[in-house]
Each structure stands twice: as C-alpha cells, then as structure tokens.
Structure 1
Amino acid sequence: MNTVRISRQHPPRGRVTAGAPLAPLVWFKSGGAANILFEPADVEDLAIFMADISPDYPLLALGLGSNMIVRDGGWPGVVVRLGKAFAGVEQVDATTLRCGGGASGILVSSKARDAGIAGVEFLRSIPGTVGGFVRMNGGAYGREVKDVLVECDVVLRDGTRAMLTLDELGYTYRHSELPEGAVVVSATFRGEPGEAQAIQAEMDRIAAEREASQPLRSKTGGSTFKNPAGLKAWALIDAAGCRGLRKGDAQVSEKHCNFLLNLGSATSADIEALGDEVIEKVKAHSGVTLEWEIQRVGVKA
C-alpha cells in the first residue's frame, strides 16, 4: 500500500492514523482501510495539512458515512473526517444560521427550531453532516440545500480558503460543482421566521414518516439511486421484481426498495454488485437506467 507523504515542516495538531479501517465509520459497516485518516484540530490545522500533503494523492472528506460505499480495497490516500471542532451551529441573524461542516442535520434543524427559524426542518431527515449536504445538494420532503444555502466556506485541495456562493456551486439534482478535493468547513443557511412549536411539529411529522417508511435500524446507505425525472426509483425497482433481492448478505430492502441492506457480513463488493443487478433489471423491465445516488469510493479488492 502506498503511503501518503506528509511534510514535517508543520506537524498536524489533529489526529493522524495510518491504515485506518473505514468500515466502522460508514453505515454499511463494510469496506477497507484508508492509507491515512486525518481528524483536524481546527480549520487552520486542516488547511496546513492539505497544503503540505502531496498533491497527487487522493483526498476524500467523510462525514457520517451514511450515503457511501467504501470498496473493499480501501481508500488509497487521505480521508479527512471533521469532528467536534467543526460541529458548531451559531445564529447569525433572525433567519440565518452558520453551521460547521461536521454538524448533523438533526443538530441544525434543532438549533433552527430554538431560534424560531423555519424552512430547514427537512435537514432533520437527512442522515449526514453539513459538508455532505452541501456537496450533494441533499434534500428530502420537497426541499433541497439549494433552497436554503447562502454560501459555504471551503478549504481547497491546495490548502487555500474560499467562500463559495449558491450560484458558484452550480446545483442540480443531488449534484454540485464543488471543486474536486475541497472540504466544506462551514455553510450559512437562511430560513424564514417561524414558531418553535410549529417547527417541532413538522420535524416530528418528518421523523415519524421516515420511521414508518425506511429501514432506519439496519446497516444501510440511505437512498441508493436518484429519482429519474418524473419517476420514483423505488417504484421502478419494485416493478422490476427486485424487492427483497439478495446477493450474499446484501439485500434490497423489503420495506423500501431504494435502500440496500447489509444483513450481516456483506462485503462492499456484494452491495455494489447487488446495486448493479438492480440497475440491469430495471433497465430490462422499464427501459429506464437508474443512476447511483450513493457515493462509491476506493479500490475494488
């Protein structure tokens, strides 16, 4: 395995772990190790680290690992994981929050409720962190990050800082033009005035609906495929006879067909192969080619 060459001119103040297993850090609980896992102490520490590492080595930002397959051969470079130092949420004005890249959707929506800010309740339903929301234009229940984002603060691959506006991110469905290798360290969201009780009621409604319709207590990766224009991925998968389809310990959820599950000891290869089989069956049945929403990263074993 190649090693990542890190300059010793500015030793990192955060935690650096060589050969770090990634399976415990992702929801599927499968996959290989990272050459280096870096958990920075703060933004300055991250910027110096990114400037010092060799530019030819891959870099991956990892949040809660909820929408990701890490392949069994692992990640051949650096994985950056933002911890508590990046999980703060502060109120900027009556309708605006500045949120750390490591803050969870539950925390952001709860802080918004406490501040009487409506419009970001949907983040309660996305099992990830602000950095991932911004990168993927995360969305649910009729809203997307593009509807509430003002700007985001990022550390670029060469270690420089940049503030990117909504327009500069070029959002489309579950996609942004965030520069390759950039790490989102904070984002500013703007909602609208609301009553805390009504905001909480909406959050409760969303939580109950998710609990009833999604396999939240399983080893899964969230929504697997993007919804084609005007269609629902789960309905196409169901119509193609894929509900409950298995490959080893990987299974298409019987509760929600757009979720893949690790029933126990599935490898990432099993999970990805099952997803590819679903794509083939849906294409054969309906003529529609599903696109992966889950990020698949790393090297196949």
Structure 2
Amino acid sequence: MKQVHGEKLLASLGDKVKELRGRLTPDAPMDRVTWFRAGGLAELMFQPHDADDLVAFLQMLPEEVPVMVAGVGSNLLVRDGGIRGVVIRLSAKGFGDVELVSETKVKAGAICPDKNLAAMTLDHGIGGFAFYYGIPGTIGGALRMNAGANGGETRERVVEVHAVDRKGNTHVLSNADMGYSYRHSSASRDLIFTHAVFEGYPEDKAKIRADMDAVRQHRETVQPIREKTGGSTFKNPEGHSAWKLIDEAGCRGMMIGSAQMSPMHCNFMINTGQASGYELEYLGETVRQRVFETSGIPLEWEIKRLGNFMPGYEVKEYLGELTA
C-alpha cells in the first residue's frame, strides 16, 4: 500500500523549497489526518507557515502537479491508493486566528475551528453564529460547502472570502461570488481559502449561550461524536431527511467490514475498528443503492472522497438514478 513517489516529487522542486518556511512531508500518511483514520498516503504534504508562504509554494510548483486542501480532515474520505500530487494542510498558527473587525464583524482563518468562531462571537455579543458550535470542521470547509446546522448556514454570514489560486494569485470574493446553494459553493475548485470576514448582529449573550447549549445538547444526544466519523455522510435531498431514507431502507447499523452506518444516527458513517477506505466507500455506495431501490430518491455524498483506489478494490459509483 505504500507509495514511493514523494521523495521524487520533492526533489523535482529543486533548491527553491529551501526558501519556504513551512513543512514539506513526502509520502504523508493520510490516516493520521482524517477523522475516519483511514486512507493511503499523500505523495507530498505541505503545511505553509502563512499566506505568503502558500503563495510562494504555489508559484514554484509546476502547473501539472495536482493540489488539494485537507483542512482538519473532518469530512474527508481518502482512498487506500493514496493521493497523487500535493496535499495542502493549513497550519493553526498561520491560518487559525479569529479576531474582531467591528462591533458585528469578525475575521476568521480558514483552519479556525467552527466552534471557536461561535465561542468568540458569544464573548462579544454577536448573534447569528451559534449553529457553528455544532459543526465539527473548520472555516475553510464551511466556506467551501456552505456548512450549516440547526437552521443556520454559512452563506447567511459571509461578507467576503480571501483566497489563493493554483498559480499563487490572491483573490477577494464577495458573498455573491461564492455562488452558494444547499451544501455547495460554485467558487472555483482551485481556490484555496485563507480567511474570511463574517457579519452577525448584536444579541444578548444569555440568548446566544442558550442557543449554543441547545446545539451542544442536540449533538451529544443524537450524533456519534466520540466515534471515528466524517459527520453527515449524505446531503438531505430536497423535501427529505437523508437519515430517514437510510433508516427506511433498512441500513441503520449496516456494516461492511469495520465500516458501519451508526445505530445512533444512521446518516453518520463510522469506523468501528480498522476500516479501510474501500470498506467505508463501499458501504456508502451500498446505502445509496438501497435507498434508491426503496424510495426512488438519489442520495448525494456530503463527505468528500479523494485519491486512488487500490488495484482490485475499486468502488463503482451507484448510478441507478441516472438510468432509472
């Protein structure tokens, strides 16, 4: 399962990498990054020191080398054959701050945990962010997928998003530029978000705290937050709840190897032991098939799946909804 490409790719970059202040790791194990604790190796991982370091690296990296961002790996499923090219993992030191911009505006780095943004706005009496307390990811991921929970969504709070493209050029995107819809942004996939400005509204701290407590209690009661999971596996189809469709299809608690649809919340896929990326993705596609066969409703993955399959362990995407 191991790769041997990382050192070669690193060497191909030459002496220019010595100018970088971040960390370069060839053949980096992604099972240490993802919350599923599964998956192969990243050919090369780069942890930039700050935004300028990220720009310098992208400007020296050949355009043909693929690049992706891992964040904290909360909703990421990496296949066992690993990831070719470079995985960017932003550092908490360079991209994790959250600060007050005005009485109702805050700036948060892309790797800042959603929960930290919620806590900071509570401290300053800024409403509209309590829902972030229940999302186990970072601001970068929330910006990319329009993360939401408990009736709130990212698009309701975004003022502007700062990003770097594949060539190392910087961009500032407005809320409209992000092209938000349900659990989706149409912003270019090659943009790496570095930070964003959000706006809320004045609100009593006691009210904010009560809302956050309700979010926390809900998560602890109905979600398997202490398991190796990627959060919600599938998006809610319009007019339906994914978990209800999964339950009605008889998939609550379903297992393939050590991968399981949680008995507590059946739209959460969990690694009960040493599940492989193959077992997790195969389980997900099996659930998609069962749901479509019983309800006629297609489920879309919310978890991001990346990398290559191991030979002989490919998972075919269920396409019943396209041929029915």
Moved over 2 A (4+): 1-11
Q: Which residue in the other structure is 1:15 paired with? A: 23
- The answer for the alignment partner of 1:31 in structure 2 is 39
CA contact (8 A) 1:149 1:188 kept: yes
Structure 2: distance between partners of 1:178 and 1:51: 21
Could you report, residue by residue, the CA deviation over 1:162-206 in whole angstroms, capped at 9, with x for unpaired residues? 001110111111111221222110011111101222211111110
8 A Cα contact 1:157 1:180, kept in partner:
no
2:271 aligned with 1:262, yes or no?
Answer: yes
State the distance in 2 between where 1:275 and 1:207 align: 27
**Pairing 1:176–2:185 present:** yes
Measure how far apart 1:8 and its partner are.
Answer: 3.1
1:44 maps to 2:52: yes
In 2, the alpha carbon distance for the partners of 1:87 and 1:72 equals: 29
Q: Which amino acid aligns with 1:54?
A: P
Post-superposition shift, 1:7? 5.0
Pairwise CA RMSD: 1.0
Deviations 1:42-81 (A, max 9, x none): 1100001011111111111111111110110111011111
Q: CA deviation at 1:12?
A: 1.4
Q: Pick one of 132, 135, 139 that aligns with 1:126.
A: 135
Gaps of 5+ in 2: 311-324
Q: Percent identity among equivalent residues?
A: 43
1:219 to 204, 219, 228: 228
Q: Distance in 2 between matches of 1:142 and 1:224?
A: 18
Give per-residue Cα distances to partners, 1:221-267, cap 9 Å, x unaligned: 10000100010000000000001111000011000010111000110
Could you tell me which residue of structure 2 aligns to residue 73 of structure 1? 81
The one-character-per-residue Cα deviations of 1:86-125 (angstroms, maximum 9, x if unpaired) are 1111111111000011100111011101111010111111
Mapped to 1, the partners of 2:205 and 2:176 lie a distance apart of 30
In 1, are the aligned partners of 2:107 and 2:197 still within 8 Å (CA)? Answer: yes
Query: Paired residue for 1:236?
Result: 245
Question: What do the CA deviations read for 1:27-47 (whole angstroms, capped 9, x no partner)?
Answer: 100001111111111110000
Shift of 1:291: 0.6
Pairs within 5 Å for 1:134-283: 134-283=143-292
Give the letter aligned to residue 92 of structure 1: V
Q: Report the TM-score when normalising by structure 2.
A: 0.91
- Point out the more displaced range, 194-203 or 144-153: 194-203
* Equivalent-residue separation in structure 1 for 2:201 and 2:114 (angstroms): 17
Please list the CA deviations of residues 8-39 of structure 1 after superposition, one character each: whole Å capped at 9, or x if unmatched. Answer: 33631101111110111111000011111111
Residue type at the aligned position of 1:290: L
Matched, 1:104 2:113: yes
In structure 1, stretches of 5+ residues that fail to align are none
CA distance in 2, matches of 1:35, 1:113: 41
Paired letter, 2:90: L
In the comparison of the two structures, how many residue pairs are matched?
A: 301
Task: Say if 2:70 and 2:76, in contact at 8 Å, map to a contact too.
Answer: no
CA offsets, 1:133-153, max 9 Å, x none?
Answer: 101111111111100000110
One-letter code aligned to 2:13: I
